[in-house]
Each structure stands twice: as structure tokens, then as C-alpha cells.
């Protein structure tokens, strides 16, 4: 296989993966959050290498103060009135 053709396949595959990730984050935020948490928990175990633990902490979803109804962005409530 020619190197240019291989590079083209790699770029297209990367574009498909990034596109699928964006759609998953927008359409299924709760599922993406759960998947990130499960992957992070597997990586931060004490018997793992330090770089894997650091990667797990980076992958982990941010902590939320209260669980939203959908597990998403927690911004589905009414907006507070503006102060003049």
C-alpha cells in the first residue's frame, strides 16, 4: 500500500472517531459521563503505572455538586432573573 493512501485512511478514520465523539457528547451526555468514569476508575488503581493513573485522573469527568435529572450539564433549570 502506498504511504499517501495509508495516511489518507488514517486521517479519515481520525475524523470519523472525532465526529462520533462529538455526537455522543451532545446526544448522550449521561452515557459519555458514565463511560469516562468507568475508564478512569480502571486506570487510577494503585497497582497501575503512574502515567496511567495520571491519564485516568485526566479522563475522569468533573465532579458535580448535585446530580442532574439526565446526568448532563446540570443547566436545565430556569435561569435566574437579571439584577439591574
- Residue located via cell numbers 455522543: 24
Give the dihedral sign, CA 14/45/52/25: positive
Asked whether the beta carbons of 57 and 50 are under 8 A apart, the reply is no
| Whole-number pLDDT of residue 78 | 67
| Whole-number pLDDT of residue 74 | 57
| Whole-number pLDDT of residue 70 | 60
**pLDDT above 70: residue 1:** no
pLDDT, tens digit, 9 for 90 and up, residues 28-74? 999 999 999 999 999 999 999 999 999 999 999 888 665 555 655 55
**pTM for this one?**
0.58
pLDDT, tens digit, 9 for 90 and up, residues 7-18? 999 999 999 999
Amino acid at each position: 500500500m502506498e504511504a499517501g493512501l495509508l495516511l489518507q485512511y488514517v486521517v479519515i478514520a481520525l475524523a470519523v472517531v472525532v465526529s462520533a465523539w462529538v455526537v455522543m457528547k451532545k446526544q448522550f451526555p449521561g452515557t459519555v459521563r458514565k463511560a469516562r468514569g468507568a475508564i478512569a476508575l480502571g486506570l487510577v488503581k494503585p497497582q497501575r503505572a503512574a502515567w496511567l493513573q495520571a491519564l485516568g485522573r485526566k479522563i475522569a469527568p468533573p465532579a458535580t455538586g448535585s446530580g442532574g435529572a439526565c446526568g448532563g450539564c446540570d443547566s436545565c433549570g430556569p435561569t435566574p432573573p437579571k439584577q439591574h
